[in-house]
Amino acid sequence: MKKAIAFLTVLVMLSSNAAAAAPASPAIAAGSYDMSITVDLSGSGKAISPYIYGINEYGHQDDLKKVTATALRQGGNRMTAYNWETNASNAGSDWKYSSDNNLSASDAPADCVQQLSKEAEKYNVGYKLTTLQLAGYAAADKNGTVTEAEAAPSERWNEVKLTKGGAFAESPDLTDGTVYMDEYVNYIIGILGDSQTASGIQGYSLDNEPALWHNTHSRIHPNRVSAAELRDKSVEMAAAVKKLDPNAEIFGPALYGYTAYDHLADTDSDTEWETIKAEGGYHWYIDYYLDSMKKASDAAGTRLLDVLDIHYYSESCRNGTADRLQSVRTLYEKGFVENSWIGQWCQTNIPILPTVQASIDKYFSGTKLGVTEYNFGGDDEVSGAIAQAEALGCYADAGVYFASLWGGSGYILSALNLYTNYDGKGGCFGSTLMPASTEDVSKSSAYAAKNDDASLITVMVTNKELTTPEHAVISLSGAKKTYQKAAVYMIDSTSTDIQYVDVYDVSGGKIDLTLPAYCAAMVVVSDDENAFADAKPEEQTLKSAVYDAPMDLVNKNGYVEIPITDPAHLKQIIITGDVTSSAGSQWGSAGCAVCINAVTPDGTKFWTSKGYSLSLGTGSKAIVEFDGTLNKKESAEDTVGTDVEAVIADGKVELQQWWSSSEKQEANIADTVSVKYTRVEVIYSYTGSGEAVRGDVNADGKLDSADAVMMQQFLCTEGTLTDWNAGDLDESGKINAADLTIMKRLLLAK
Burial class (CB in 10 A: 0-12, 13-18, 19+), 387: buried
The yes-or-no verdict on residue 10 having pLDDT over 80 is: no
Percent of the chain as helix, strand, coil, to the nearest 5: 25, 30, 45
User: Which among 377, 411, 421, 373 has a CA at the least distance from the CA of 623?
Assistant: 411
Which residues face 657 on adjacent strands?
A: 592
Query: Model confidence at 193, in pLDDT bands (50, 70, 90)?
Result: very high
Residue pair 544/15 in contact by the 8 Å Cβ criterion? no
Supply the DSSP string of 538-579, one letter for each residue. Answer: PPEEEEEEEES-GGGGB-TTSSEEEE-S-GGGEEEEEEEEEE
Q: What is the tens place of the pLDDT at every residue in 259-277?
A: 999 999 876 556 788 999 9
pLDDT in tens, 667-715: 889 999 999 999 999 999 887 655 667 888 887 778 888 888 888 888 8
Burial code (b: 16+ CB inside 10 Å, e: under 16) for 525-537 equals bbbeeebbeebee
Q: Are the beta carbons of 235 and 163 closer than 8 angstroms?
A: no
Q: pLDDT (tens digit, 9 = 90+) per residue, 194-225? A: 999 999 999 999 999 999 999 999 999 999 99
The beta-strand segments (E) located in 329-390 are 368-375
In this predicted structure, the answer to whether residue 657 has a pLDDT above a threshold of 60 is yes
pLDDT for 459-496, tens place per residue?
999 999 999 999 999 999 999 999 999 999 999 998 89
Higher pLDDT, 10 or 201: 201
Chain centroid offset of residue 668 CA:
32
- Mean pLDDT, residues 47-60: 93
Nearest-angstrom CA–CA distance, 446 and 393: 8
DSSP β-bridge partners for residue 462: 520
Q: Give percent of the chain above pLDDT 90.
A: 76
Q: Is 423 left (phi over 0), alpha (psi -120 to 50) or beta?
A: alpha
Rg over alpha carbons for the chain, rounded to the nearest Å, is: 28
pLDDT band at 736 (very low <50, low <70, confident <90, very high): confident
| Lowest-confidence segment of 79-83, 354-358, 431-435, 732-736 by average pLDDT | 732-736
Paired sense of beta strands 203-206 and 249-255, if any: parallel
Confidence of residue 395 (pLDDT cuts 50, 70, 90): very high
pLDDT recorded at residue 397: 98
Q: Which residue has the higher pLDDT, 723 or 199?
A: 199
Give the model's pLDDT for residue 15: 31
Q: How many whole angstroms separate alpha carbon 234 and alpha carbon 252? A: 8
Most confident of 60-74, 142-156, 261-275, 720-734: 142-156
Q: What is the phi/psi pair of residue 505, to 5°?
A: -75, 145
Distance between CA atoms of residues 454 and 105, nearest Å: 49
Examine the residue annotation and report whether 390 is marked as an active-site residue of this protein.
Answer: no
Output the pLDDT for position 30.
64
Distance of CA 741 to the CA centre of its chain: 46
Q: Do the Cβ atoms of 411 and 384 come closer than 8 Å?
A: yes
For the chain, domains (ranges, CATH) are 19-47+429-535 (2.60.40.1180), 51-419 (3.20.20.80), 541-687 (2.60.120), 705-749 (no CATH)
pLDDT value at residue 216: 96
> Could you give the angle at the alpha carbon of 144 between the alpha carbons of 138 and 145, nearest 5°?
85
Q: How far is CA 742 from CA 283, 520, 728, in A?
A: 79, 49, 10
Contacts with 15 (C-beta within 8 Å, 6 or more apart), sequence order = none
Phi and psi dihedrals of 481, rounded to 5?
Answer: -125, 165
What CA–CA distance (Å, rounded) separates 489 from 415? Answer: 11
Q: What is the CA angle 110-112-117, rounded to 5?
A: 100
Q: How many helices (H) and strands (E) does the chain have?
A: 16, 37
Is 511:529 a contact under the CB 8 Å cutoff? no
In percent, how much of the chain has pLDDT > 70? 94
Active-site residue, selected from the candidate residues 209, 315, 390, 666: 209
Could you say which DSSP state residue 453 is in? T
Q: What are the two backbone dihedrals, phi and then psi, of residue 325, each rounded to the nearest 5 degrees? A: -60, -25
8-state DSSP, 135: S
Residue 165: how many CB atoms within 10 A of its CB?
7
For 281-340, write each residue's pLDDT tens digit.
Answer: 999 999 999 999 999 999 999 999 999 999 999 999 989 999 999 999 999 999 999 999
How sure is the predictor about 12, in pLDDT bands with cuts at 50, 70 and 90? very low
Tell me what the pLDDT averaged over the chain comes to.
91
> CA-CA distance, 500 to 693, in Å (whole number)?
27
322 Cβ neighbours under 8 A, 6+ residues apart? none
* pLDDT tens profile 151-166: 999 999 999 999 999 9
Question: Which residues touch 37 (CB under 8 Å, ≥6 apart)?
Answer: 436, 437, 438, 444, 446, 459, 461, 472, 473, 474, 475
Q: What is the pLDDT of residue 9?
A: 26
| Nearest partner of 433 among 389, 393, 462, 484, judged by Cα | 393
Four-point Cα dihedral 498, 63, 633, 558, nearest 10: -90
Provide mean pLDDT across the span 122-135: 96
What is the secondary structure of 225-255 as a DSSP string? Answer: PPHHHHHHHHHHHHHHHHHH-TTSEEEEEEE
> What local confidence, expressed as pLDDT, does residue 3 receive?
30
Q: How does pLDDT run across 219-260, given as a tens digit for each residue?
A: 999 999 999 999 999 999 999 999 999 999 999 999 999 999
Find the largest Cα–Cα distance for the chain.
92
Q: Are strands 10-11 and 249-255 parallel, antiparallel or unpaired?
A: unpaired
For the segment 711-726, the average pLDDT, to the nearest whole number, is 76
